[in-house]
Structure formats: structure tokens, C-alpha cells
A and B are shown apart, each in its own frame.
Chain A
Amino acid sequence: MSSIGTVDGLASASHGRTGSGLGARLRRLQPGLVLAWIVIAIVVLFALFPQLFTSYSPVQGVPVEKLKAPSALHILGTDALGRDLFTRIVYGAVHSLTGAFVAVAVGLVVGTAFGVIAGSTGGIVEDGIMRLVDVLLSIPGLLLMLSIIILLGFGTVNAAIAVGITSVAAFARLSRSEVVRVRRSEYVEAAFGSGGTFLAVLWRHVLPNSLVSVLGFAALQFGGAILAISTLGFLGYGAPPPTPEWGLLIAEGRNYIGTAWWLTTAPGIVVVLVVLSANRISQSLGGRQ
């Protein structure tokens, strides 16, 4: 009974607060979150308009300029073939981002479909799907990715699909548990009680209410996917050279780690920054529900 009052009070209070304007909202912004959004925005711009940021070519090297340390001319230095490292990182963004996008999309669509079917039907279908998911979970992620790439063949898209398939299990489990939670709620029963058919209730009530946290999880997976794709690139299972993919950049720089530290450090830091930013943003999305 007292909870009714509390919720009412909060509802009216938050209503009153919208009047206090933009100033209050700006003050509540967390600097970490702002920074995360800026990092992601810059990387997206890298991917969309790389030529705005650099005038060098990402693949054509200038042999004389090889292995130069960072300077005003080449702010992150050059590699063994005399290619500007900053340019390669900028042009590499599109590979990492689209790869991560495809990976998350595969995991989200396939995993959520499995989870929703399992959660909403129950019984033998649910058991079948969830045991399959358990099997997927029991295989170490990297091993699974490598096996899939060997089956599908090398390449950016195939690497992305491999990363996506490894996250299917996690998406399926999360969406199933959300669907089961929502399906047991009274408003779903009330919807059946007012004559809703199974599909109508699923579409109108179960999906919208269960997918919020799944979307938050997708943002989290985005960071993980960038890391996984870089890992595959590093191991040589991703895009073939001379593609400036971030993982591949790190792998190529490894041979010169003693003499040209910037070749591994710079792309490594970029990967870390992007992954951290994606995690921070997904955390804020998750907290908002």
C-alpha cells in the first residue's frame, strides 16, 4: 500500500523536474560517458570519411620513410614499408567497425530468435534449443571462431560471422530468461484474458518488454566483438594484408617491437579505447531502464 504512494510521488516529482531545463541535465552528465561517446563518434567518422583526417595512402608506402618514429610529419610514425601508421589506423576503422557490426547483428538476430522461440513456446522445443545453446557455450570461444573460419574461409565478413556465432548462445540465454520473466507477468495473462492470440500477445507485449535489456547487451557485445575481430586479425584469420585492419596492424608491428614500439602500441591503444568506450556506453544504456 505504501508503495503506491511512493511510486506516485516519484512520478509526479520527475514530472516536475522536466521543467528545470537543459542546465540541470548538462550538470548531470558524467565526463566518462561524454568521453566514451566522443571516442566512438571519432571512430565512426574515421570509418565514414577517412580522407578528411589524412592525406597519405593506407596501402602505398614510401620506402625512404620506413620505420620513422612519431613526428610532426607522421604523428604516429611509419611502418616497415614506409606507410603512415595513423593513416592505416584511420582506414582500418571501417574494417573493425563493420566487422563488429556484422558480428553483433548475427548474434542478436539469431540468438534472440532462438531465445524468444524457446522462451515463448516452452516444453520440448525449449529444452532442445537450450541444450544446443549449452553445447555452444561449452566450446571455448576462440576455438569455435577458428573452426568456423576454417569452414567458411578467410576474410573480414567470415571472421565477423564467426565472432557473431560465438555470441549466439549468450544472446539466446539472455533473451529467453527475459521472455520467460515477461511471459509470467500479469499483464501478459491479462492480454490473453482479453482475447489476444499467442502471436498478437508475443508481438505486442512480450517482445517490447523483454528486448530492452537485450539491446543493452548488444552494445556490450559490440566492444567484445571489436576485440575478437582484432584477435582473429592478429592470428591471421581475418582480413588478408595489406588491409589495415587493427588486429593485423598489431601483428605486423610485432616483428619490430624492439625497434619501433609505436607500431604495436598505437593500434593497441586505439582498440582498448574503443572497447572501453563501447562498454561504458552499454553500461549507461543498461542503467537507464
Chain B
Amino acid sequence: MTTPLLSVENLSVAYREGDHTARVTHDLSFAIAPGEVVALVGESGSGKTTTAQAVIGLLPENGRVETGAIRLNGEDISRWSGKRLDVIRGRQISLIPQDPTSSLNPVRTVGAQVGEILRIHGERDRNLIEARVVELLARVGLSDPDLRARQYPHELSGGMKQRVLIAIAIALKPQLIIADEPTSALDVTVQRRILDLIDELRRENGTAVLLVTHDLGVAADRADRIVVLQGGRIQETGETASLLASPRSPYARRLLADAPSLSARTFRAAPAPGEDAIIVDNLVHEYQSSGREAFRAVDSVSFTVRAGTTHAIVGESGSGKTTTVRDIVGFGRPTAGAIRIAGTDISALKGEALRKFRQTIQLVYQNPFSSLDPRQTVFSIVEEPLINFGERDAAVRARKVNALLERVGLPEALRKRRPRALSGGQRQRVAIARALILDPTVLVLDEAVSALDVTVQAQILKLLDELQKERGLTYLFVSHDLAVVRQISDTVSVLHNGQQVEAGSVEDVFLRPQSDYTRELIDAIPGKRSHALA
């Protein structure tokens, strides 16, 4: 075998915090051959980003390589000084960072930032730099590259910014690109286009890619080999096809089973006919801004949801799904149209009547960090709605709260803790308990599982499914993740630019999509390629 481009040998990285150090990776070893794509897959806290940072020498200040070696073309670079590494950063190894919105300097033009890497590595001719920048921006698929080079980051969309960052990464044709979750902050269709671009550039220049991702579906589509990490240890390494077909380690097997995009595709059984719990009729929501024409965020959206079933609202950012949901739970006022929840027109309710009606419909937020008051304990968070609706007897409240916390799977020991001391999944369980304590008939889940790791996500989805069966709940499930939608929903509405482009049963929409946009969304679900192989 030829010498690998990058070989990581027994790498252990530790973080110092106060007086003690915590090791986050333990004896990691893997290698990347020239032109190969290797995916580091794992959930948050698995050490995948730390590993990527160690390779390019960008560990946070309190991080240190304790043992092991990182060999680039046979030379150990793990203990090089920053100054020495500067020579190879950008030229031999480059990085595509995770969050495009915060990775560009807001006060400099895009062109200046792309040109910077050329200047750092010794190019002095301004005209040459300018020409090269435009060429690079065109190469990463930005329309009108001359104009883009003169624009500032805030004038570009998230996907465009990620393209700019890719342009910087490929400027000097490095041998290795480290892509740290390059698309997790982007919409699915944009994600697909960006990954396609990285793929194409890789083939063109023979660049190797170290792809860091939490999404096994993305890894399955794009990588030649996959390294599965958990708790800083390698669980399994293997060729993509064989690893997906027959994972050997129990962790890889679980990850594969939990990934909604890769697990078996069964649709929910058709629900028994029943009453309609939610009727949305020609909903229109306009945002007025002074001096400008009103912006129509939601344009005549209509759907009905039968009691005891799950309806999904799918769309990318800016599709109007959040506005729709806020109108439905009564936080927003629609410009026109009617919303009836369990027979009551919620858009006509005000003040005390609206407050009383909140017992019927509850919302679970996307972010379990910001939707729980940091100063309250778990118990008092869940107890509060009962106090709001006049349950005076503390013993009754305690009994109800404890029974529900038990049901959502929060151990007794956690009840006196504050949200900060809980994991993401535990927090979302608290949020679900708070929403269910009043026995609502409708639960609105606004991207409620999007911020969670796949394994935790699978657990929460299972819990939601059980609760629905036990209590006959109606769910309105907002998501950008079609794979999850396929798993949990009965019916679905697809929103695009405020309009409903498709509606119907999940099976119909997924198997026989009518609109081009839906087809594009379904095609963009990662994990397709692995199914084609299987």
C-alpha cells in the first residue's frame, strides 16, 4: 500500500478546565489516502470536531494533543508551532467550517476574504488576485461572481456563504480538505447542492476530504470509508458499503437503526376515520412594514387534521411554516382565513378566552435550551401550567407532575435540577411534559427533534408515538427533515414560499409527488445512494 496522505496514530486530545484535564479522544487511529473521502461520524460529544481541529492544529487554547502523531505525507505535524503550521494551512490542508453565518468577516467584502488566502501565501499581484478570486467564485457556482466579490457577507444567503468558504478552502488546491459539518446549518436542497459541489471539486483536483458529520445518511452518500466515533473512541472503521450492509459494533448498528433516512421505509397505517381536530381554511398572513408593500408570508394555506393523527408541515427556511404554526397556537393573528381547533375559531379569541383555550392546544419548541426558564427547577417548570389554571392543592399538583415526569422517562433524581444540568434530550422531555400536563387535545411540535442527536431523536419520536396512542393526541409536526416526517406522520403539507404546493397522505406525497419542488425535496434526503447499492 502507498503511504497515506494523512495518518492519525493513537491520537489522544485533552481539554484543561480549571484544575483538571478531561481526555476527549482516546487512541484514535485512521488514515486517508490521496483523493479519498473519509467520514467521521458520531453524535455530539463524540470527539469528531476535536479530531478535525487537532489535524489542522486549531484546537481551542485549553486543548492539547497528549499522545499520538498526526502524519501528513509521513511527517508528524502534531507538535508543530502555529507559525510552522501556517505554511501548510490552506496550501496542503484547508478547512470548511461548520457555520457559514459566523465564519466570514462581516465588515470585509467577499472578494477581499477570498483574496486573503492568496495574499497570505505569497501572491502580491493585485490584478492576478482579483482575477483569481472571480474565477474561484465562478468555480463554486456563484452567479455573477464579479458582483459577489464586491458584496458583503450579509448580502448573501447561507448557501452562498458556504460556497464562498469552499472557494477559500480550494483556492490553493490543497491535498486535504476538512469539512466540519459543512451543511448542518443549511436547508436540505441547499445541503445537497453543496455536497455535490464538494464532490465535484474533489474529483477534479484529486483532493482528499475528511468529512465530519452527525448524519450517517450524508456519510453513506458521500464517503468511501466511514469512521464511527463514540465517546472519543473508534467503534468501527470500514468501507462505506460493507459497514452499512453489515455493521459489526453494536453502536454502529444502533446508529444505523436510529437514522431516519437509512432505516426501513414503512409508512404509518391509515388512521381510522374520526372528527377533524384542526381545520385551517385559506390562511393568509401578511407582515406590514411601513413604506413598503406588505410581505405575504403565508398565502392561502388550507388543510385539515383528523383527531388522533399526525399532520406534518414541511418546508425550508422562509417557507412560512413557522408563521402558520404561530397563528394556529394563537401567538400570531392571521390576516385572513379561519383556523378551527376542536371546533373553536382560535383567531377570534382574545384575552381571557384565549388564555383558557390554551388548555386545548400546546406548543413544543425547537430549542429546549431557550424554551425553559434557566432559573426554574424541572418540577416547577412542569407544575406551572397547573398553577396557571387554578389547581390550588399542592399535593394534587405534585401527584400529577410526578406521574407525568415518570411517563416521559425522567428519573426522580432530576426533578430538583435546573435545565442547565440536563442533556438536550432530557430537556425536550421536560418541554413535552410541560405541554402535556394540561391534557391538551392538540400538540404542536415546532422542529421539536431537529436539534437532537439521531439516537436521542429516535427515543423522543418513540415517546411521542406512544403518548399519541395512549392519549389520542393530535400532532401538528413542523419539520424540514423529510425522513423524520415519513416516519411519524399520517398526512403532510409541503410549503414553499408561503404557498402550499402539495398536500395529502404521506404515502401519496412520498411515492407520487405532484410538484417539482416536492420531488426535489425528496431527492435531497441523504442516504439515497446507500439504498441504491443495497
Contact = CB atoms under 8 A, between A and B. Distances in A.
Interface in B1-50: 17-20, 22, 43-46, 49
Contacts of A205: 373
Interface string B449-462: 00111000000000
A178 to B, nearest CB: 14
B398 interface: no
Interface string A191-209: 1111111001000110011
Given A187-B372, A200-B388, A194 B451 contact: no
A29 to B, nearest CB: 13
A17 B49 CA distance: 24
A64 interface: no
A1 B214 contact: yes
Contact of A193 (B45, B46, B362, B451): B362
Given A13-B17, A17-B19, A209 B375 contact: yes
Nearest to B387: A200
A262 to B, nearest CB: 46
Contact of B363 (A11, A187, A193): A193
A interface: dominant SS: helix
B365 interface: yes
Contacts of B371: 186-187, 190
A24 B18 contact: yes
Contacts of A123: none
A195 B19 contact: no
A270 B43 CA distance: 57
A49 to B, nearest CB: 38
Given A2-B181, A195-B359, A209-B375, A190 B365 contact: yes
A32 interface: no
Interface stretch (B165-173, B310-318, B418-426, B493-501): B418-426
B184 interface: yes
Contacts of A16: 20
A194 B434 contact: yes
A237 B70 CA distance: 73
A208 B377 CA distance: 14
A5 B370 contact: no
Nearest to A27: B19
B interface: dominant SS: loop
Nearest to B44: A5
A3 B98 CA distance: 12
A189 interface: yes
Nearest to B367: A186
Nearest to A2: B44
Contacts of B431: 190
Contacts of B369: 4, 7
B420 to A, nearest CB: 6
B20 A20 contact: yes
B113 to A, nearest CB: 24
A185 interface: yes
B18 A187 contact: no
A185 B370 contact: yes
Contact of A9 (B45, B181, B421, B434): B45
B531 interface: no
A187 B438 CA distance: 17
Nearest to A4: B424
B355 A4 contact: no
B384 A196 contact: yes
A195 B358 contact: yes
Contact of B44 (A4, A15, A208): A4
A2 B212 CA distance: 11
Contact of B19 (A4, A24, A187): A24
A187 B323 CA distance: 18
Interface of A: 1-11, 13, 15-17, 20, 24, 27-28, 185-187, 189-197, 200, 204-205, 208-209
24 contacts: A1-B452, A2-B49, A2-B98, A7-B369, A7-B420, A8-B424, A9-B45, A11-B420, A11-B421, A11-B422, A16-B20, A186-B371, A187-B372, A190-B365, A190-B372, A192-B331, A193-B331, A193-B362, A194-B434, A195-B389, A196-B388, A197-B355, A204-B373, A205-B373
Given A16-B20, A190-B371, A190-B372, 6 more contacts: A5-B46, A8-B44, A8-B423, A191-B373, A195-B356, A196-B384
Interface of B: 17-20, 22, 43-46, 49, 98, 181, 184, 214, 329, 331, 355-356, 358-359, 362-363, 365, 367, 369-376, 384-385, 387-389, 420-424, 431, 434-435, 438, 451-453
Which 7 A/B pairs are nearest by Cβ-Cβ distance? A5-B44, A5-B45, A194-B385, A195-B388, A4-B424, A186-B371, A187-B373
